[in-house]
Amino acid sequence: MLAVWVEQLLGFASGALAAIREEERYPAFMAWAREEGAELMGGDLAMAQALAPILWSQTPLERAGFTSEPLARPGRNEPCWCDSGRKTKHCCGAVAMPADVPDHLMWMLSLRDWKGPTLKAALESGNAPAQALLEAGLIAAETGQRGRAQQILESLFKRADWSRLPVQAEPAFELLIDLYQERGFIRKRADLLDEVLERGPLFLRGVALERLCLMHLDSDDLDSARAAFVRAQQALPDSPTLAYIEAMLLLHEGHEEEAAERARFWFRRLARKGDLEPEQLQFLADLAENPGATLADQLLNAEEDLAEPLASLQALLAELPPAPGLSLSHTAQGELEYHSSAREDTLFAAWQKHFQVDVDDDSALGLKGDPWLHAGDWLRELCAHPEWLDSPRVLQSLTLALTSRFGSLPWMSPSLFEPLADRLERWLERVREEGEGPLLWDSADNAVLLRSGLALVVGMERGARERSRRLAERLLTLDDQDSLGLQELVLDQLLREGRNREALAVTETRLDDAPVLGILMGRALALFRLERLAEANEALREVRGHNPHALAMLCAEQTRPVQPGQDGVAEPGTRAEAWQYRTLMRDQWRTTPGALDWLQEQLDA
């Protein structure tokens, strides 16, 4: 019954709004209500007459600067406000409505209909109720009107009185953050987060900190993610979302056992409170049992159309037979070359009909397009034709696609990247069995193997650190020119594992090469940890000569992100280069006792 009433109410209100807009005069509107309006209410004239004054009183009028002209509700013995001439108790006062009429309904419908300058003026008037802005923004987003949704939701969060925000504003806030991200308004996203954190209501501050933490995790800025998590914990200490975020953060930091331990803590704490939904409680129980697998399952389930094909891919990779051999040879100069065979070319051609996106040969990890726009097709076809993975070029395309989407998520490593690493490593063993000699990037089809290796190193870097480093070291022995830039990655991994002498040795293998900030800073950190302070101070002098911004940016507790150039490359010596290093490695400097104090002393000297 209530559903029928809501449908009738919306139909009547939409018609009423159109009638009001024709003249914006009450008598003309009431004439409409008694004729066409009554038809919209199934011939119920009394209900139409009773609704009309209520809706008129809340309708924003363009001629009145988007204010309304509310009618005074009459007493029982006073003339009815519908202008029928009868007493209220014998007219609209005698009509019983199935439910209350929302007092923001006509504003919400107006915001849904207005366009261009009219919509802009209405929003700038500041008269729109928060609930109307909230609902109109969500409706615009659901119907694919992203620009309109952004415009309306921005108005919701620009209001001076944050206390007027409804608690339901939480999904609108998250939606606006997502819209900024999707549409490239990075500065607006940062400003909104800052404003909410500074003066927003408590429930929104907690959500903002949670989102900030996730954003830092997405960009591999673990130190900033940890700081945001601590602030979120202080703002919303009993939020179930914190259990989920802390598990992700600890897995990103490589602390698998601690992630499980903390998940068990959250489960016990929140279960005792008894105010969680059964689904939430079950998720926390699963998280406590196996954080990585639970997060992986959650991710797959959230992929909607791709959940089933991705699960099928996981099953396929778990059962892959051993990789076949490769066609290898030596050049006259003693270099090793891999040449794609006719069978491998045929398999790749069949795959490419569905994958459709080419590898960008000018980029170490690039594709010329987004394969995930039609991933359902190529995932299903690959699962139907597992023999395609006998071709290294198919493996290359697949690893690049998977890394682009899941490479920053450590919990996806066991089911997606490690089985593919098994396959590639079998081929790399075959290369070494062929004999000594370098496997250079520019020779024959060597880049296919090396690029696949780099993608897997990146894909496993968070979820299988030791294996990622071993694969990187193996690639470095094959391609001693380090075409992939793996030396810095191996150095970072060794520092994270506390293997400081080995890390220092890595920095000494290519001292004559052009300086790289990550190598210079890694050398300084390794020397400091080894208490070789004189050499460490000399290493810092080299750092400051290469990039004068690096030490100050590393020491700062908070600093604004610095975007690289249009090609995504941070030029040596720039603030962007210093920011990239801070993002990747500040957590290691912060957790090394005395390291940041030492850097600050060098800055102050």
3-state secondary structure 446-460: HHHHHHHHHHHHHHH
Confirm whether 115 is domain-assigned.
no
Per residue, the 3-state secondary structure of 118-144, as one string, reads HHHHHHHCCCCCHHHHHHHHHHHHHCC
What's the CA gap between 443 and 395, in Å, rounded? Answer: 19
237 and 355 belong to one structural domain:
no
457 and 493 belong to one structural domain:
no
325 and 269 belong to one structural domain:
no
Of the three residues 66, 101, 136, the one that is the final residue of a domain is 101
Helix (H) or strand (E) holding 282: helix 278-289
Helix (H) or strand (E) holding 170: helix 169-183
How many residues belong to the chain? Answer: 605
Which residues fall within 8 angstroms of residue 227, CB to CB, at 6 or more apart?
557, 558
Please state the domain count of the chain. Answer: 4
> Could you give the dihedral angle defined by the CA atoms of residues 286, 287, 291 and 295, in that order, rounded to the nearest 10 degrees?
90
- Residue 589's closest CA among 538, 546, 534, 540? 540
210 and 281 belong to one structural domain:
yes
Cβ 299 vs Cβ 292: under 8 Å? no
What's the CA gap between 299 and 406, in Å, rounded? Answer: 10
What's the CA gap between 497 and 464, in Å, rounded? Answer: 12
What ranges in 290-328 are assigned the alpha helix state H? 291-302, 307-318
Predicted local distance difference test score (pLDDT) of residue 514: 67
Tokens read off for 295:
């997060």
What's phi and psi for 115, nearest 5 deg?
-135, 165
- Measured CA to CA in angstroms, residue 469 lies from 363, 493, 513, 555 at distances of 21, 6, 22, 28
Confirm whether 112 is domain-assigned.
no
Confirm whether 260 is domain-assigned.
yes
> Which pairs count as long-range contacts for 113-119, CB under 8 Å and 24+ apart, including other chains?
113/17, 118/62, 119/148, 119/151, 119/152
Strand partners, 330: 336
pLDDT in tens, 309-352: 999 999 999 999 988 989 999 988 889 999 999 999 999 999 99
26 and 156 belong to one structural domain:
no
- Residue 156's closest CA among 178, 182, 175? 175
385 and 269 belong to one structural domain:
no
Confirm whether 306 is domain-assigned.
no
- Residue 98's closest CA among 174, 24, 231, 2? 2
472 and 511 belong to one structural domain:
no
Radius of gyration of the chain (CA): 31
What's the CA gap between 464 and 475, in Å, rounded? Answer: 17
374 and 497 belong to one structural domain:
no
Predicted local distance difference test score (pLDDT) of residue 383: 95
Confirm whether 574 is domain-assigned.
yes
Predicted local distance difference test score (pLDDT) of residue 483: 66
Of the three residues 243, 267, 299, the one that is the final residue of a domain is 299
3-state secondary structure of 382: helix
What's the CA gap between 24 and 64, in Å, rounded? Answer: 9
Of the three residues 479, 512, 533, the one that is the final residue of a domain is 479
Confirm whether 108 is domain-assigned.
no
Confirm whether 249 is domain-assigned.
yes
Q: Which residue has the tokens 């850097």?
A: 599
318 and 445 belong to one structural domain:
yes
- Residue 440's closest CA among 338, 367, 512, 360? 338
- Domain extent for 432: 314-479
96 and 2 belong to one structural domain:
yes
319 and 432 belong to one structural domain:
yes
521 and 444 belong to one structural domain:
no
How many beta carbons lie within 10 A of that of residue 88, not counting itself? 19
Predicted local distance difference test score (pLDDT) of residue 98: 85
Confirm whether 117 is domain-assigned.
no
What's the CA gap between 581 and 556, in Å, rounded? Answer: 13
Spans of the chain below 70 pLDDT: 1-2, 160, 483-484, 510-514, 565-569
Looking up residue 145, the CATH number of its domain turns out to be 1.25.40.10
Q: Which residue has the tokens 């810092």?
A: 540
